[in-house]
């Protein structure tokens, strides 16, 4: 299986493969404020990821590059990011580091959006030198390092050794001039892994929970010898946020991703401790099915949904929203109780 046909498969299957299990947001309820004493027009959606200032907490999470079709997708995503002031990550750049003729499928993002916040992406097997080259390729403002053990194990051509990742991440975070974001790709993160990443000083952790784009299902669809018993592997997005809430993050900012669909999911993520949220599948579906103006309108709507929640909670800023009270019910509450006992 070539790298480029794998990338096309991922796009195709991400659009058509359903979820397995839920992100958990249905188990999170806000306590409303009937006297919010604020005005919609004075709301601020500004937030910080480490040293990066974002005008919206919503960013386009890593997806693609490295194949001709990706240039078109990345160009459209970058246009949305530029017009709506969203940060944007590209997909893994390893393909272009191996074959420089593919660089343009990533660089398009910087060409379309010269002044926006653009995030480079590599797997945890990368070295400091490769990280520096990936950042230079798109003049990136930050680097995402993705962790995807289960996805690799389910890919016939995937990695089989996962040694030394934490030490390598520590070295990269220590030496790079831009912030390092470590992310999962939809299997969630438990408190032990989150704590280890905090200890090595990464700027930000994206818990990348299950309940959205499901790379176990996607790889199982691509593989005639499917291991579909792993389709429901991992922690949901809300479970992962609760895990992060149990530990001292020591200034490391938290990102929520995995199945977020609308502004209320964004608001719940922020109330559970996230500073920003990544959306991948939502943006892929947008650019594949809607004209550009409709894509821009969809982003306005996402922001409006978030602002509705902010007003109804009396939160002028995202940091006030971070203090909003939530109640956890359903399966997530039962799960959290069990985790507390463990």
HSE-up of residue 303 (Cα within 13 Å, Cβ side):
19
Residue from 24, 116, 259, 263 binding ligand FNR (CB under 6 A): 259
Q: How many degrees, rounded to 5, is the angle at CA 284 between CA 310 and CA 63?
A: 100
The nearest distance, CB 108 to ligand FNR, in angstroms, is: 16
The nearest distance, CB 300 to ligand FNR, in angstroms, is: 19
> Distance (Å, rounded) from C-alpha 144 to C-alpha 173?
11
Q: Near ligand FNR by CB under 6 A, which window of 60-68, 130-138, 225-233, 308-316?
A: 60-68
> Distance (Å, rounded) from C-alpha 122 to C-alpha 65?
12
* Sequence-ordered list of residues with C-beta below 8 angstroms from that of 272, at least 6 positions apart, any chain: 28, 238, 241, 242, 245, 256, 326
Please answer whether residues 58 and 85 qualify as being in contact, where contact means their C-beta atoms are separated by less than 8 angstroms: no
The nearest distance, CB 5 to ligand FNR, in angstroms, is: 13
Interface with ligand FNR, residue 268, by CB under 6 A: no
Q: Which is closer to ligand FNR, CB of 155 or CB of 279? A: 279
Tokens at 173, concatenated: 């975070």
Exposure pattern of 167-186 as b/e (b: 16+ CB <10 Å)? ebbbebbeebebbbbbbbbb
Count of residues touching ligand FNR (by CB under 6 A): 27
Residue from 70, 203, 207, 284 binding ligand FNR (CB under 6 A): 284
The nearest distance, CB 93 to ligand FNR, in angstroms, is: 8
Interface with ligand FNR, residue 189, by CB under 6 A: no
Please answer whether residues 222 and 2 qualify as being in contact, where contact means their C-beta atoms are separated by less than 8 angstroms: no
> Distance (Å, rounded) from C-alpha 42 to C-alpha 26?
29
- Of all residues in this chain, which one has the CB nearest to ligand FNR in the complex? 212
Q: Which is closer to ligand FNR, CB of 43 or CB of 185? A: 185
Interface with ligand FNR, residue 64, by CB under 6 A: yes
Tokens at 150, concatenated: 């289960």
- State the pairing for strand pair 326-328/276-279: unpaired
Is 294 annotated in a binding site? The answer is no
The nearest distance, CB 23 to ligand FNR, in angstroms, is: 8
Q: Which is closer to ligand FNR, CB of 10 or CB of 110? A: 10
Q: Near ligand FNR by CB under 6 A, which window of 129-137, 205-213, 221-229, 248-256?
A: 205-213
Contact set for ligand FNR, span 76-115 (CB under 6 A)? 91-92
> Distance (Å, rounded) from C-alpha 95 to C-alpha 197?
26
Interface with ligand FNR, residue 186, by CB under 6 A: yes
Contact set for ligand FNR, span 121-180 (CB under 6 A)? 121, 144, 146
Please answer whether residues 102 and 72 qualify as being in contact, where contact means their C-beta atoms are separated by less than 8 angstroms: no
Residue from 52, 62, 70, 118 binding ligand FNR (CB under 6 A): 62
Count of residues for the chain?
342
> Distance (Å, rounded) from C-alpha 206 to C-alpha 144?
9
Mark the binding-site residues for Mg(2+), compressed into ranges.
152
Give the residues lining the site for ligand FNR (CB under 6 A). Answer: 10-11, 14, 61-64, 91-92, 121, 144, 146, 183, 185-186, 208, 212-213, 257-260, 279-282, 284
Mark the binding-site residues for FMN, compressed into ranges.
62-64, 92, 121, 183, 213, 259-261, 280-281
Mark the binding-site residues for substrate, compressed into ranges.
6-7, 151
């Amino acid at each position: 299986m070539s790298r480029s046909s794998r990338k096309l498969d991922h796009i195709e299957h991400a659009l058509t493969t359903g979820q397995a299990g839920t992100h958990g947001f249905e188990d999170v309820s806000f306590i409303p404020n009937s006297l919010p004493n604020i005005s919609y027009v004075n709301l601020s959606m500004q937030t910080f990821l480490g040293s990066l200032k974002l005008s919206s907490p919503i960013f386009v999470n890593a997806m693609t590059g490295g194949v001709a079709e990706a240039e078109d997708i990345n160009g459209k995503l970058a246009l949305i990011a530029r017009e709506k002031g969203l940060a944007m990550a590209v997909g893994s750049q390893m393909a272009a580091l191996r074959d420089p003729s593919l660089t343009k499928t990533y660089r398009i993002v910087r060409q379309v959006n010269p002044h926006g916040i653009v995030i480079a992406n590599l797997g945890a097997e990368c070295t400091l030198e490769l990280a520096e080259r990936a950042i230079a390729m798109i003049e990136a403002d930050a680097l995402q390092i993705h962790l995807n053990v289960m996805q690799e194990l389910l890919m016939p051509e995937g990695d089989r050794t996962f040694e030394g990742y934490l030490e390598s991440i520590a070295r990269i975070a220590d030496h790079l001039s831009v912030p390092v974001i470590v992310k999962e790709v939809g299997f969630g993160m438990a408190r032990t892994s989150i704590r280890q990443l905090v200890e090595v000083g990464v700027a930000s952790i994206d818990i990348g929970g299950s309940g959205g784009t499901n790379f176990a299902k996607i790889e199982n669809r691509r593989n005639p010898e499917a291991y579909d018993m792993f389709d429901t592997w991992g922690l949901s997005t809300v479970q992962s946020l609760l895990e992060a809430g149990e530990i001292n993050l020591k200034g490391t900012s938290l990102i929520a991703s995995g199945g977020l669909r609308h502004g209320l999911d964004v608001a719940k993520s922020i109330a559970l401790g996230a500073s920003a949220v990544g959306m991948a599948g939502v943006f892929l579906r947008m650019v594949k099915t809607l004209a550009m103006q409709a894509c821009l309108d969809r982003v306005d709507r996402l922001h409006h949904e978030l602002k509705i929640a902010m007003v109804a909670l009396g939160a002028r800023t995202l940091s006030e929203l971070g203090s909003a009270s939530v109640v956890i019910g359903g399966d997530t509450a039962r799960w959290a109780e069990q985790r507390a006992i463990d």
